[in-house]
Structure formats: structure tokens, C-alpha cells
Amino acid sequence: MSAVLLGQALVGGLLTGAVYSLMAVGLSLIFGVMRVTNFAHGELMMVGMYVTVFASAASGLDPYLTLPAAAVSLFVVGYLLQRVLVGRVLEMPEEIQVLLLVGVALVLQNGALFLFGPNHRGVQTPLALAALPLGPLTVDVARLVAGGLAVALTGALALFLGRSRLGTLLRAAADSRDGARIVGADVNRLYGVAYGLGAACAGTAGALIVPFFEVAPDVALPFTLTSFVVVILGGMGSLAGAFVGGLVVGVAEAIGAVVFAPSLKPVVAFGLLVLILVVRPTGLLGRA
Amino acid sequence: MGLVGRPGMDRRAFLAGAGAAAVTMAAGARIGAAQAKTIKIGAIHPVSGVLAQVGQACRQGAQLAVAEINRAGGIRSKDARLELLVGDSESKAEVGAAEAERLIREGAQIIIGAFQSDVVMAIAQVCERREVPFVVDVGAADQITTSGFTKVFRIFPTTSALGKNGAAYLAEIIRLSGAQVERAVVTYTKDLFGTVVSKAFLQAMEAAKSPVKIVEVIGYDLTVQDLSTEVARIKAARPDVLLPFNRIRDSVMLVRELYKQRVPLKGILSPGSPGWYEKEFIEQTGPLGEFAMDAPPWYNPKSPLHGRVEAAFRRAYDRGVDTNSGYSYEGIVVAADALERAKSLDPAGIVAALRTTSIKDHLMAGGPITFDAQGQNVNASTSLIQVQKRRPVVVLPDAEAEARPVFPAPGWDERT
């Protein structure tokens, strides 16, 4: 195995990992704030991909310019999802929450199949086929843009949560639902906002990959699973953990595909998960 | 003046009158259609789930064939129309079997399907037990016709035939072009189809003592999200040709990634998998998809039926006929032909008629459709097709060819 091949895998893994980070940060945010595992995360990502495909086709704009459309519409979807459905089951046993969200996932997936058919749909952007030479390596421009924007957006979200008033309230609601209520916060609205932000992360991640990964109704499940692995690896509810976890999983998959066999990619990701659960059950950056 | 306004007519009388009128009208409609009898055919395909795209193409092929046959007078010898009952296997064997039970309960006298070999096997067991003939339109696993089923008839080629033909076409292309081809990489999806057919192909290459050396075999998951590492591995193996077994999504990703990493290749030749001729592949890859070759079971462009069927597909579905829709179309044709010739419409009568099938002029490649004792269409065959000017054309065998093969293909940056 050559150094070039490993270098290529490392670059590719980091860029893919950055997108994993963004989608996992959304999942982690939802879990961190209201202790609900969003089983429809990949499906929300799929919705973001469809929004991008249609917004880009209808407006004639480059898919990167329609990114705000995907973010805003997924925020609305997430907000409504929480207020209308998830909010009702927060106090119920976990299995009820799981059933509800798996149900939402099935409705979204088959709704997309009904509305848009099974065919793959992509977007046209001149960047999709561009590549930059980096010494002996090739850097895929579309992935570079996706990875860069994913890192920037994750940073912006962290700033928002850390510095803004709404962000502070969200963190307060995450720490103690009753405490936040006592100081006069509208916890239900905050939960809606958190779900909206989480969904927007998933939707934006979807929008970022559409130039090189076409959307179809059935693309969601692997993304949901990868998000879970990343979040558990990084530490449940820790945003920094989700960010680091995404990069780790992306790189591990790519290196694993080179060192072992490409079909072992999921084995590497889940193997890493098992290892972390054994060695450090709280995750890389999680607190017990 | 309506009935309702007439004095002395109470509600009960009105309902009775309306009911009688409805019955008369319904009967009138049946009489108007001239044929009271219908014969039901059940078609089971994976129209939702991972394979929804090909499943829907299959269903469309079957629907088009039924509509055409009915327009031409249905099953004339029985004075009956065909009715298609559709089922969805969701690409799962157990669902396929349950759907077969349901369609038989609803009166299906022949079943066709089912695209995936494992689903075909499950349906075959139901059909054997319920004694309903089963025409396999698509489904390649050898054991479908070597397991001793007596009601199963397959028009599609077997896996061994696919592998053998793929190796033969590769040798033929190299011979015709005189190009130096020494190294090849095989890629495959790790589902049942990809695993089994790639293995059959590798065995055929070995049996044929092919001078082409397979320097690397790369398998990846069907739901793969990124092929950059796989392609980096392909590039590192320095192949002359790439021999992929795949589905549509990964063929698009593969070609784009090969271009981005500028992997020098004399050509891509899939020894018989989907993904290289569909409208989606051609539209999404544009110039990069040009010159890709594939050796699938394909339609025969020289068939007297081809022009008419192709036009009908384009009219109805805005896409040309291909392997999947074509074979499902042909499955209905074979079923209807047997129903036309059957002495009786009980299972034994239909099976006896299927056994003596001999259809000379038909849509897909290969000689007349006739079944051997095991129910395998002995003349099922494959063609070598190549994307030329954004259209899949047959380049081999000569008798069916629409164009000459282009090999070695021009470099990535010289394509338009």
C-alpha cells in the first residue's frame, strides 16, 4: 500500500467526516436538549436534499446558493415536528418516542417515493466534476466546499449556542427543564427551536452533498446510522464530541477501506463504536 | 324532471329505483366491452425500497404488454381480456411470497416476476404448492431452474451464462480492436446479485484461460455513499480496463470519481450489470458516460417488434425499453401466448402450453423462446452494448449490431 493511497484516503476521509460532523451535531443538539433520539435524522437530511434539488432547478441558481432555502425550510419542518408530534411524547416511555420517530421516518421516506418516484435526482454545478491537484493527491472541489462549509456552519452554531441569549436559554433548558421554566423560559418553544436547529443541520448537510451524491427516497438509513455512531463515539449530547467524532469516523472509514477492504467500511465504523463503548462508555468528549 | 321531485315517491322506492338503474348500467358496461371473461395475471416486482427504480420499470413493461394485448383483442381463443394484478415484493423474499399468495387468492392464473433471485425462489415455492404457473421475467441465479420446480419457466439467462458471455465479449472486443489489454480490475456490489455474478464471471475468465490478468477485485456496499477511496485503489492497481458489477447510483459515482482522479483506462466494460444504459446514468454522466460498455441481456434492435415497442415505451413512460422493462414485457407475451394455445385454463393446461412455447419473433436478444425440461429458455442471451452519442446501442453480436464498438475509448478530457 502506497503513501499516496493513504494520503488520498486521509484527505477524502476528513472532507467526508466534516459533513458527518454537521449532521451529527444536529442529532446531538436534539438529544442534548430534550433527550430524544431523532430516528428520522437521515430522512430529514433527505428532505434537505430534495429541497436543494428543486430549489436549484426552479431558480436556476447554483445549489450552493440555495443552501439557505434548505436550512430555513428544514428549520420550519423540525420546529413543527417537535411542536405537533414529538412534544406530546416527551414525558412518555422511550419506546413510544422511538416508535413515533421511526414512524415519521417511514412516512417521510414513502411520502418521497410517492411524490417524487424512485429515481435518483441530482443538481448541476460546475464544481461537481472539478478537482485540484495537491502534489500527487487529488482534492475533490465539491467535497472541499462541502467539508469547509460544514466546518464553518458547525462553528457558527457553536458560537450561537455559546454567545447569544437564545443559545444560553437553550443550554439552560438542556441542563434542567424545570429550572428553565422557573426562570420564565418558554421551554416548549425552546424545544421547538432546538429541534428546528437540529433538523436544519441535517438538511444543510444534505444540501452540501447533493452535488456529488444524488438523492432518492431510500438514501436516509445509512446516514441515520452513521449519525448515531458519530454521536455515541463523540459523547451523547456533546456538540464538540459530535464534531470530533464525525472527523474520526470519516477518516477511519477511508483508511479502513484502504488498509482492509472497501466493503469493511461499516465494520470499521461500528467496530470503533464498540471499542469506545468498552473503553470509554461516555464517548470521546462526553461527561459521565 | 328527476325522480326525486315526483309526488308519491318515497325514499325507499327511490333507493330501490336508483339501485336497479345502477345494476343495469353496470351490466351495460360489461356488455359494451363485448368480453365478459377476464384472465388474471399476477406481476410481482420490487416497486418500493432499494430497487424501486428497476421494479417500477418492470411493472411498466408488464402493464404496457397487457394493454397492447387487450387492444389487439385479448386472448382470442378464450374470448377473454387480460387483467394485470400487481404486487410489490419490497425487495424482500418473504414479502414476495406473501404477495404471490394474495394474487393467487385474488384469482391470478399465472404469476410473473420478480427481478431478484431470492424473491423468485420464494415465489416459486408458493407457485409449486398452489399449482400456479410462474414465468420468471428477470432473475439470474442458476438454481431457479435447477431445483426441480415443475411450474417455473424462466426467459432470462442464467448467472453462469451471464458470466461466460461477459468473458467472451471482453475477449472479442480485445481481438477486434487489437489493443493491448493486460490488466483489469473487477468491482462489485456486495449484494446477492453482485457477489454471485462477479464470481461466475471470474470463474469463466479462468476457465477460458483469459490472458487478461485480474489485478484487483474490489467489493463495496450497495448503499455506498462515497467511492473516492475505492477509485484511489483502482488507480493504484493501474488497470487497462475496469470490469464493474453495480447498480445505477454507484455507476454514476464511479464514472465521476474516475474522471476526477483521471484514472487512465482503455475502457469500462461491465460484464452484465444494470447501471450503464439507463436514462439516469446517461443524463447524469453526459460525456463521461460515453463509450461505457455493458453485456446485459438486452433487446434485439433488429427484431421486427422493436420499433413499435420502443415507440410505445417512449410515448407511455418517456424512456426507452431496457433490460428490465423489456423482459417483463416479454414475460407477459410468453404468458399470453400460452393462454392463447392452452387447451384448458386449469394449471395443467397452462403448464402444458408453456412447455411447448416457441416464439420466433420477440423483443429481446437471442433465438426463439423455448423452454427445456427444467423450464429454462435455452436461447436466452446477452448483447454487448455501448453508450454512443448519449444512447445505448448494440455493438455485438454482429447480427444484431447497430454500430461498431469504440475501443480503446478516448481519454477523459477528449470526450464531448
Q: What is the DSSP string of B274-343?
A: SSSSSHHHHHHHGGGGTT-EE----B-TTSTTHHHHHHHHHHHHSS---HHHHHHHHHHHHHHHHHHH-S
Query: Helix B323-341 vs helix B52-71: angle between axes, to the nearest 10 degrees?
Result: 40
- Interchain CB contact of B254 with A (< 8 Å): no
The answer to whether the peptide bond before residue B114 is cis (omega within 30 degrees of 0) is: yes
- Interchain CB contact of B214 with A (< 8 Å): no
* Distance to chain B for A132, nearest Cα, Å: 9
CA distances from B328 to A176, B60, B223, B298 (A): 60, 8, 26, 12
The predicted complex's ipTM stands at 0.75
Please give the pLDDT value at position A154: 93
Backbone angles phi, psi at B331, to 5 degrees: -60, -45
- Interchain CB contact of B219 with A (< 8 Å): yes
The helix or strand, by DSSP H or E, that contains position B187, with its residue range, turns out to be: strand B183-189
- Cβ contact, residue pair B249, A214, below 8 Å: yes
Q: Which residues of B touch A216 (CB under 8 A)?
A: 53, 249
Match 345502477 to its residue by C-alpha cell.
B22
Considering CB atoms only, which of A4, A16, A113 is closest to B52? A113
Torsion sign over Cα A86, A92, A98, A99: negative
* Distance to chain A for B127, nearest Cα, Å: 29
Q: How far apart are CA B25 and CA B102, in angstroms?
A: 30
Please give the pLDDT value at position B191: 79
Does residue A101 surpass a pLDDT of 60?
yes
Number of H helices, E strands in chain B: 12, 12
Match 477524502 to its residue by C-alpha cell.
A12
* Distance to chain B for A216, nearest Cα, Å: 9
- Cβ contact, residue pair B228, A12, below 8 Å: yes
| Interface A-B: count of C-beta contacts within 8 A | 99
Cβ contact B244:B388 at 8 Å: no
Please give the pLDDT value at position B35: 58
- Percent of chain A whose predicted confidence (pLDDT) is above 70: 99
pLDDT 10s digits, A56-86: 999 989 899 999 999 999 999 999 999 999 9
Residue type, B320: G
Q: In the structure, what pLDDT confidence band is assigned to residue B276 with cuts at 50, 70 and 90?
A: very high
Q: Which residues of A touch B223 (CB under 8 A)?
A: 219, 221-222
> For residue B169, what is its C-alpha cell?
465479449
Considering CB atoms only, which of A4, A129, A266 is closest to B256? A129
Match 394485470 to its residue by C-alpha cell.
B84
Q: In the structure, what pLDDT confidence band is assigned to residue A269 with cuts at 50, 70 and 90?
A: confident
Q: In the structure, what pLDDT confidence band is assigned to residue A123 with cuts at 50, 70 and 90?
A: confident
pLDDT 10s digits, B318-329: 888 989 999 999
